[in-house]
Amino acid sequence: MKLQVAIDRVTLENLLESVSYLDGVVDVIEVGTSLIKDYGINALENVTKKGHQSEVLFDLKTIDEGVYEFEKGFSANADTLTVMASSSIDTIEQVYALTVNQKKNILIDLLEVDETKIEKLQQFDEAIFGLHYSHDKKDQDFDAVKAVAEFHAKFPNIKKIAVAGGIDIEQAKRLAKQGIVERIIVGGKIMNSEKPLDMAKKFMEVIK
């Protein structure tokens, strides 16, 4: 299981500083959607242009104009890009084909889509499917372990699953023991802690 650390709502300087100490410590560094909207893909090339040990994911949340956005993201040396499951099947087909052709990774964000749409998405068998609990939901009582178990029971053919939504150390332990997900995505529990690097190392310890 991989640890993906999400960095959001910081300055570009703080992003680069965070990347410098997380690189090689965690499996995946996520450049969050807020940073892409604040600074743009061209400015974020600095995150990756000198090479990196950890994988880098740009959370584009592509919904349309997929090929254009994915070409830009991969040109900026991102290893993984994200597309919303609520996009048209045509959009997802196009960015999936582009991703496979470039030997990169794609994460399909399942935020607020129903099971009928997920059934149609199973054809993209090399994609990572992201269970994503909305940041804006008022009910913040999200049980990641239960959500993963229920999803896996409904869609056993989906092999690469990621999960995000307030995951703490205890939930990380339980998810590692469960052995279903390909990666966990952790943001604030690491980046808002007093010592983000130490907290990232703790998460790595409990999931490996």
> How does pLDDT run across 15-36, given as a tens digit for each residue?
999 999 999 999 999 999 999 9
Q: Please write the tens of the pLDDT for every residue from 143-181.
A: 999 999 999 999 999 999 999 998 999 999 999 999 999
Tokens of 115: 């099971």
Q: In sequence order, which ranges of 40-114 are alpha helices (DSSP H)?
A: 41-44, 66-75, 89-101
Residue 84 DSSP code: E
pLDDT over threshold 90, residue 68? yes
CATH number, position 6: 3.20.20.70
Specify the pLDDT at position 19.
94
Domain of residue 68 covers 2-207
CB burial of residue 88 (10 Å; 0-12, 13-18, 19+):
exposed
**How many Å is the Cα radius of gyration of the chain?**
16
CA 10 vs. chain centroid, Å, equals 18
This prediction's pTM: 0.95
pLDDT over threshold 90, residue 93? yes
- Residue 137 binned pLDDT confidence (cut-offs 50, 70, 90): low
Tokens of 2: 């991989």
What is the total count of domains within the chain? 1
Length of the chain: 208
